[in-house]
Amino acid sequence: MNKLEQLKQRSQVVADTGDIEAIRRYVPQDATTNPSLLFKAAQLPQYREHIAEALAWAGRQSGNRAQLAAMKLAVSIGGEILQLVPGVVSTEVDARLSFDTRASIDYARRLIGLYEQIGVARERVLIKLASTWEGIAAAAVLEREGIRCNLTLLFSFCQAVVCAEAGVTLISPFVGRILDWHKAASGRDDFTADDDPGVLSVRSIYHYYKSRDYPTVVMGASFRNTDEIEALAGCDRLTISPQLLQELEEDSSPLAGGLGSEVASEARPARALGEEEFRYQLNADAMATEKLAEGIRNFIKDQERLEALLQEQMAGSMERDVATDS
């Protein structure tokens, strides 16, 4: 077996892409998207039909039509992805709402409503929210309504603790972005899988959850190389880009390392964190504070780029309609 096949025997593999062809090729269990991936997908010719459908739907709604078109496009692509994967698809709440609990809840409910309108049950969708205090609070409400959530942009232990206590379905701790920060901060470029700060972070969270029987799924994300993936083999789920999926598929050597079958005891005591303590601990972690803020900014940037693209196409469509009428 190649390494991808070996990995699938130990962890559920999730495709970190909105590219339908990549999902069809690698046959992952689940798929996850975000504004960056949707922006790339929206520029591909095979998504023209989805874009046309999103624009037509948004044109019949009141409100910010570009934002609504982006929401509908995410659901349309998510619905197609669900025809190819047996599990779930993650769809993101607008990152501009990362510090607004009520607006995040409303946005998530609307996403689920759009999925249900195309015949997709809410059980097959994970709503992605940034792991801010407000995002986690929104997830706690949504989970009680049967809307399952994926808490993304997770870089610190305190974020993981609060997510577990909130009863969220899944967390996505970011491996590669943690490594990026430590490389820049230390000037080192020789980290191995054994001392990779991102790998060590996910390993610590995984052991903490499993030793305390939290049902929240740990899904390692944002990998920079296949060594990081191998080091976390055995984690509940791993979401992997098409490029790294291909590298794993082309490698037939034995899959080395991983978390193993034994769950190590995590020394840190289990306790709920209130808002003040959460914010204090997050602020004390420079890496987590900086990468969370950066991640939100980048998702907002790509959300706005996607909306600008859709707005441009919407304007072009209106001009064609006027020309036709005249």
Instruction: Mark 254-290 as b/e (b = at least 16 C-beta within 10 Å).
Output: ebeebbeeeeeebeeeeeebeeeebeebbeebebbee
262: which 2 tokens? 């034994």
Residue tagged active-site, from 3, 8, 72, 128: 128
Q: Quick check: helix, strand or coil at residue 202?
A: helix
Examine the pLDDT at 267 and tell me if it is beyond 60.
no
Does the pLDDT value for residue 232 go beyond 60?
Answer: yes
Q: Using the 8-state DSSP alphabet, how is residue 124 labeled?
A: G
Percent pLDDT > 70 in the chain is 93
pLDDT band at 319 (very low <50, low <70, confident <90, very high): low
Q: pLDDT value at position 140?
A: 98
Q: What is the pLDDT of residue 18?
A: 82
For the chain, give me the number of helices (H) and strands (E)? 14, 8
Task: Look at residue 229 in the predicted model and tell me its pLDDT.
Answer: 97
pLDDT exceeding 90 applies to what percent of the chain?
83
Mean pLDDT calculated for residue range 31-57: 88
E strand or H helix at 281, and its extent? helix 275-284
pLDDT score for 168: 98
What the block records as the tokens of 51 is 């874009």
Is 183 among the residues known to form the active site?
no
pLDDT class of 322 with cuts at 50, 70, 90: very low
pTM over 0.85: yes
Instruction: With H, G, I as helix, E, B as strand and everything else as coil, classify residue 20.
Output: helix
Summarize pLDDT for 125-141 with one digit per residue, the tens.
999 999 999 999 999 99
pLDDT for 35 equals 85
Per-chain mean pLDDT for the chain = 93
Measured from the Cβ of residue 12, the count of other Cβ atoms closer than 10 Å reads 17
The arithmetic mean of pLDDT across residues 34-40, rounded, is: 86
CA distance 266 to 224: 26
Q: In this structure, what token pair is assigned to residue 186?
A: 């230390």
pLDDT at residue 263, as a whole number: 57
At residue 321, the pLDDT reads 59
Mean pLDDT confidence for 136-150: 98
- Helix or strand (DSSP H, E) at 198: helix 197-211
Q: What is the pLDDT of residue 262?
A: 57
Q: What's the mean pLDDT in 304-311?
A: 94
Those residues whose C-beta lies under 8 Å from the C-beta of residue 283, and which sit 6 or more positions away, are 289
Q: Which residue has the tokens 């006027």?
A: 322
Q: From CA 282, how far away is CA 241, in angstroms rounded?
A: 28
pLDDT top residue among 114 and 313: 114
Q: Indicate the range of 222-231, 268-277, 307-316 predicted with least confidence.
A: 268-277
Cα–Cα distance between 312 and 306 in angstroms, integer? 10
C-alpha distances in Å from residue 193, one per residue of 190, 200, 322: 10, 9, 59
Q: Indicate whether 260 pLDDT > 90.
A: no
pLDDT band at 19 (very low <50, low <70, confident <90, very high): confident
Q: For the chain, which domains are there?
A: 3-325 (3.20.20.70)
Q: What's the pLDDT score for residue 20?
A: 87
Q: Is residue 181 over pLDDT 90?
A: yes
